[in-house]
Structure formats: C-alpha cells, structure tokens
Amino acid sequence: MSEIKLTHYSHGAGCGCKIAPAVLDKILHSDFKSVAFPSLLVGNESKDDAAVYELDNGTCIISTTDFFMPIVDDAKTFGKIASVNAISDVYAMGGSPLMALAILGWPIDKLPAELAQSVLDGAREVCAEANIPLAGGHSIDSPEPIFGLAVTGTVAKENLKRNNTAKPGNLLYLTKPIGVGIITTAQKRGLALTDDVAHAVKSMTQLNTVGAEISKYRFVTAMTDVTGFGLLGHLLEVCEGSHVSAEISYASVPLIENLNYYTSKMIYPDNTMRNWQSYDTKVQGIGAESLLTLCDPQTSGGLLICVEAMAKQEFERTMKTLGFSLSPIGKLVEPTADVVVRIV
C-alpha cells in the first residue's frame, strides 16, 4: 500500500485546511447572548489555543480538538503529525496532557481500512511518547481522509499561559523553524527534495513539551503555538488580545532548511494568500519572500513565547538546558494606531 499517496485524496493539507481568519471571524460572530460561566477562564473570546475551566482545587482542565486532511503521503506519519499538532494546544497553555480521543474520517470506498489502522498506530506512538492513553474516539465515512485528536489536559492555575497577557517590552521567541507548509506543498506537487521533506517531518513530529516545562516561570508572560494562520496570524492574535504592537526582525526568524529553494520558485500553499488577505492592513514592511514565509500555514508548528526583557539571559539559559538554542525574533512595543506588526 506504500504506492498510495494520501495527499492525492485531499484538497487541503494539514493546518493549511484552516478557514482563513477573516472568514472565521464572520462564522463565529453571533448576536446570541451567552450565559456567563465564571469558572471558564479561557473561551472563544481570546482566540486562544484551548478552552480552560477552573476546578475548585486550583487545578484547571484544558480541553482542545484539532484535525485535518493528510499533509504527507505515509499513513502512519500522517497520524503522528496530526496527533502532535493536537496535543500541542495543551502545551501552549502551559499544561500537561491527560488523555486523547481519536477523530477519524475515512473514504471507505476509496482507501483500504488497513491504511486507517496505520494512521491510528501513528497516533498511538505519539500518545505513548506524551505518556497519555488514546482512550477512544469516533469515526465516520467521509469523502476525504481526516484525522485528529480531542485532548484533555491539566494545568495549575498559577502556571496557565494565555495568548492575551503579553506586555510591551517583551521579547519574542520561536521554538521551531517555519516553512513546513511550503515544503509539503512542494511534496504534493512532486517538487520537493527528499532531505527537505525529512526535515519538515522531523519538525512536525516534535512534541512541544517544553511549554509545560517553562510554564512555572513568571517571566514567560504569554504563549501560543504557530499553526494554520502562519507566524504573522498568530502573532497578531497575541498583539490584539494583549493590546500591544510588535516589531519582527525578519533576519532573525528561523526558517526550515533550504526554504529559499522553494520560495524562489514561488511554491507556496493556497492558504498563504488567504492568510495575508485576512490581515494585510495590520502589517507593515512585508516583502516578496517574507510574505510567503511569515504567512505560511504551519502544521504542528513551534511555540511563540513572550518573555520579559530583564529575564533574557535566564530564559535562554533555561531553554538551552532543555535542548533549545534560541535568540529573540523581535519584541513587543506600545500599541500604535497605524500598524499592529512591523517587519524590519
């Protein structure tokens, strides 16, 4: 069954399947007067990575779900990437996962059930690595293959990290290079080099466990993971939620190896332009290459971490002990009326 290419059975790929931010805003808009739930600490209003509900003992429950269509051709790898991506939302809130449920849509008349079994095996491997059970799930017969997880996690209230609590002067760090959307698009078109695909897969299958490990530090003021809206889209959510602006040093943004080979050929996912059209009026200083990379929809991307400037050395030392050699990609500044993110 290795000759079956899963990406040929889906119109989208990974988090590139996401509905564009501007369209999603229209879908989520409602005049319905919702009931207030005091224990719901994080809900829809902040566009955060997961919902968070406070229990009576100072512990919070984190609940999230994420699923998408194949971003790679190998079924087991697809299951692993989708699972790492879904669990990441818990780590982005500073929490630790407890268990997961599988979400599977499969075109039974087009693809053998054995391939779906391989997808689930990929999920089982990731859940075992995260030390959580894949405790059940739900499946449907669907026109295209779909897979993901619903994940439950926990976090101590004092360690909860949100995407709307950043402050002016904070430094910005990113734990994974960007560009996997470009590489996987090239793969789907038969234009990707083998080593480049391997680098992208390695990045997408790396758990963001570091989010739980650094949540105890007060100098980490806010955190989110970078996925389908691209680095710019998720940074804008941080800025707008926190009422700040940002300056990004494009030369400091980590890019996946050999990305220029593809951007020079103008290879990029369709969602790149949909992302850009959703927030182009809020960004200044974008260039031809930086548009393709900073708006590139990431699947299972890294953590975008906001850190107090006075803690720069301590944070970087801490991250180095955890296996990350990081430097700032930019900083947050006082809000400006004309632009939210400036690229320099």
Enzyme catalytic residues? 15
Return all residues near 30 (Cβ < 8 A) that are at least 6 apart: none
Biggest CA-to-CA distance, the chain = 59
Task: Indicate the helix (H) or strand (E) that contains 6.
Answer: none
Report the DSSP beta bridge partners of residue 153.
Answer: 62, 97
At 268, the amino acid letter reads: Y
Q: How is residue 269 written in tokens?
A: 């996912």
State phi, psi for 111 to the nearest 5 degrees. -125, 140
Q: How is residue 59 written in tokens?
A: 């512990």
Q: How is residue 95 written in tokens?
A: 């929490």
Strands (E), the chain: 40-42, 51-54, 59-68, 96-106, 134-141, 146-156, 171-174, 220-225, 245-248, 283-284, 303-307, 330-333, 341-343
Q: Which long-range contacts (CB under 8 A, 24 or more apart) does 128-131 make?
A: 129/207, 130/87, 130/97, 130/207, 130/209
118 three-class SS: helix
305 three-class SS: strand
Shortest CA distance to 202 belongs to which of 183, 216, 188, 217? 183
Angstrom distance (rounded) from CA 182 to CA 185: 5
Angstrom distance (rounded) from CA 132 to CA 244: 37
Residue carrying the six token digits 């003992």: 57
Angstrom distance (rounded) from CA 72 to CA 319: 30
